């Protein structure tokens, strides 16, 4: 027979576990979040740098204008200062004022302040500037006071009012960008986590339902095992556990059946042993009555002899049943000897020849000279006789029995094929079990005893339905005593 080749299944080189997948997702989310935050931080720093550069450029320009104003012949030349101030791009600078040494505003980008005296607050700023603190911050506004020196004398001051609102706008925009990036990344991570959770929750829910059915006693449940992760391993372990439970259930049922049959067998063995002697006495009494009380009238004598034969036949049948019980329950002690299997088969067929002729059975032999085997001839003869009688019983209206043999170097096969009613498929599965029979008058021990004897010889017995109806029983006996593998 060709050997079954194991189906090769493809396994991935790297099958990440659930823990690894979760860690990878968290690392991906964290790395993405850090990357975007670093990017936006760099972009914000760049924008801030550009804005500061612009503001510094304008501040430098303002200082340059102030210095040019101070370099004129007279700082009190209002027209020259106005010209310089109007040439300044005031974006980012709220106000530029030129203050004289006498604390009066000579020029300003805010024309309503021109000619006014400075406030006490500005005087404090000028005082701090002379002490080395030119910058004063008030909320989002910064004041810068720059003294204008000509030679050794301070001829005036330049007051710059800068607004930090532009920088705050950049900072707010940067914060909003970072928050938006974090929300997007968290949303993506959440979606991936939900998808991954759904992928693992569905089979777990299925496993819970199947486990509930198994707990309720339904051991025919099975989980799919096509996954290569922890869920697949758990499903395979679950299926293995259920298969072990099924095996345990079958073993317990067999044990319960065996205990039941053992009890019945003990009772039947005792009954069979007890009725053998009374049956012998009844049989002898019937023989005596047949001789003493035979009627003289030929017609009545014929009916009387028929009745006596029927009674003796029933007594013999009960005796055979009792003997079957005793033989099945008795340990087999084989008395092996070299015996021609052909002679055993011929002797059995010769024993049933009279019944075959009476009940219209034809027996066709399809075997040549079979080899000699080291067997117990009486036990083998009993097996063959049981099979032939079963074939006759399966053909109540007559039929054909084909006996065929085949010899191989390691074993010998002997088949008995009838064209009777056959065996139901449900009954065929337990045909060789004790007390299983399809006959209304049978006890179901013949085939069980036959299997016991054949297996004790190291062989086996098989059943299969015939193609055209009927049954085929085949005995396989080993040529040597080692048995059939």
More confident residue, 308 or 482: 308
CA 140 to chain centre: 66
- Taking phi over 0 as left and psi of -120 to 50 as alpha, with beta for the rest, 399 belongs to left
Residues 6 or more apart whose CB falls under 8 angstroms from that of 450 comprise 382, 383, 386, 387, 432, 461
Q: Would you state the pLDDT for residue 441?
A: 63
DSSP of 365-423: EE--PPPEEEE-HHHHHHHHHHHHHHHHHT-TT-EEEEEEEEE-SSEEEEEEEE-S---
Compute the C-alpha angle 167/170/175, nearest 5°: 125
CA 421 to chain centre: 45
| Both structure tokens of 302 | 């014929």
| Count of beta carbons in the 10 Å neighbourhood of residue 255 | 10
Q: Are 70 and 41 in contact (CB under 8 A)?
A: no
Q: What is the mean pLDDT of the chain?
A: 76
| Beta-strand pair 361-366/399-407 | parallel
Q: Is the dihedral of CA 479, 341, 324, 469 positive or negative?
A: positive
Yes or no: domain 335-478 corresponds to CATH 3.30.565.10: yes
Q: Would you state the pLDDT for residue 49?
A: 58
Please give the average per-residue pLDDT across 442-465, as a whole number. 86
Q: In 366-398, which positions are buried (b, 16+ CB within 10 angstroms) versus exposed (e)? A: ebeebeebebbbebbbbbbbbbbbbbbbbbeee
- pLDDT 10s digits, 39-67: 777 776 676 656 655 665 565 555 555 55
Q: Would you state the pLDDT for residue 99?
A: 83
| Count of beta carbons in the 10 Å neighbourhood of residue 230 | 13
Q: Would you state the pLDDT for residue 230?
A: 73
| Both structure tokens of 36 | 């975007």
- pLDDT 10s digits, 179-233: 787 788 778 777 777 777 777 677 777 778 888 888 888 878 888 877 777 777 8
Residues of the chain above pLDDT 90, percent: 11
Confidence of residue 170 (pLDDT cuts 50, 70, 90): low
Q: Would you state the pLDDT for residue 481?
A: 64
Residues of the chain within CATH 3.30.565.10 domain(s) are 335-478
Please give the average per-residue pLDDT across 254-263, as a whole number. 72
Query: What is the three-class DSSP state of 140?
Result: coil
Quickly name the fold that domain 21-169 has.
Answer: Beta-Lactamase (3.30.450)
Compute the C-alpha angle 190/191/192, nearest 5°: 90
| Closest to 18 in 3D by CA, of 299, 203, 230 | 230
Residues of the chain within CATH 3.30.450.20 domain(s) are 21-169
pLDDT of residue 460 exceeding 90: yes
Residues 6 or more apart whose CB falls under 8 angstroms from that of 449 comprise 324, 327, 328, 382, 383, 386
pTM over 0.85: no
């Amino acid at each position: 027979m060709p050997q079954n080749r194991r189906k090769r299944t493809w396994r991935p080189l790297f099958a990440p576990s659930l823990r690894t997948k979760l860690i990878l997702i968290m690392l991906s989310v964290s790395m993405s979040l850090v990357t975007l935050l670093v990017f936006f931080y760099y972009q914000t720093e760049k924008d801030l740098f550009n804005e500061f550069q612009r503001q510094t450029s304008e501040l430098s320009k303002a200082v340059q204008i102030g210095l040019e104003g101070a370099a004129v012949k007279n700082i009190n030349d209002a027209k020259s200062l106005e010209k310089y101030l109007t040439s300044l791009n005031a974006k980012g600078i709220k106000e530029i004022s030129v203050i004289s040494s006498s604390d009066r505003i000579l020029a300003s980008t805010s024309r309503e302040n021109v000619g006014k005296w400075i406030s006490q607050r500005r005087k404090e700023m000028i005082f701090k500037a002379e002490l080395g603190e030119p910058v004063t911050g008030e909320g989002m506004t910064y004041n810068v006071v720059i003294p204008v020196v000509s030679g050794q004398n301070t001829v005036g001051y330049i007051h710059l009012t800068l607004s930090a609102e532009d920088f705050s706008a950049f900072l707010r925009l940067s914060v909003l960008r970072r928050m938006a990036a974090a929300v997007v990344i968290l949303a993506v991570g959440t979606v991936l986590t939900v998808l991954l959770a759904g992928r693992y929750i569905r089979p777990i829910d299925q496993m819970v339902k199947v486990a509930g059915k198994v707990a309720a006693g339904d051991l025919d449940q099975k989980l799919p095992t096509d996954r290569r992760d922890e869920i697949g391993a758990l499903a395979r372990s679950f299926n293995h556990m259920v298969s072990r439970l099924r095996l345990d259930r079958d073993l317990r049922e067999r044990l319960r059946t065996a205990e039941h049959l053992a009890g019945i067998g003990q009772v039947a063995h005792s009954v069979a042993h007890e009725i053998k002697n009374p049956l012998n006495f009844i049989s002898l009494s019937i023989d005596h009555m047949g001789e003493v009380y035979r009627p003289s009238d030929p017609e009545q004598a014929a009916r009387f002899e028929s009745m006596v034969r029927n009674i003796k036949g029933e007594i013999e049948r009960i005796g055979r049943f009792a003997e079957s019980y005793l033989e099945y329950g008795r340990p087999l002690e084989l008395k092996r000897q070299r015996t021609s299997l052909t002679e055993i088969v011929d002797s059995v067929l010769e024993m049933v020849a009279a019944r075959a002729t009476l009940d219209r059975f034809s027996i066709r032999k399809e075997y040549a000279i079979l080899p000699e085997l080291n067997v117990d001839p009486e036990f083998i003869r009993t097996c063959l006789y049981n099979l032939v009688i079963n074939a006759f019983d399966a053909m109540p209206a007559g039929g054909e029995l084909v006996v065929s043999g085949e010899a191989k170097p390691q074993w010998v096969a002997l088949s008995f094929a009838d064209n009777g009613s056959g065996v139901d498929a449900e009954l065929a599965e337990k045909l060789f079990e004790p007390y299983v029979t399809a006959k209304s008058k049978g006890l179901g021990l013949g085939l069980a005893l036959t299997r016991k004897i054949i297996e004790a010889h190291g062989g086996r017995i098989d059943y299969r339905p015939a193609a055209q109806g009927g049954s085929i029983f085949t005995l396989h006996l080993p040529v040597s005593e080692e048995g059939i593998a």
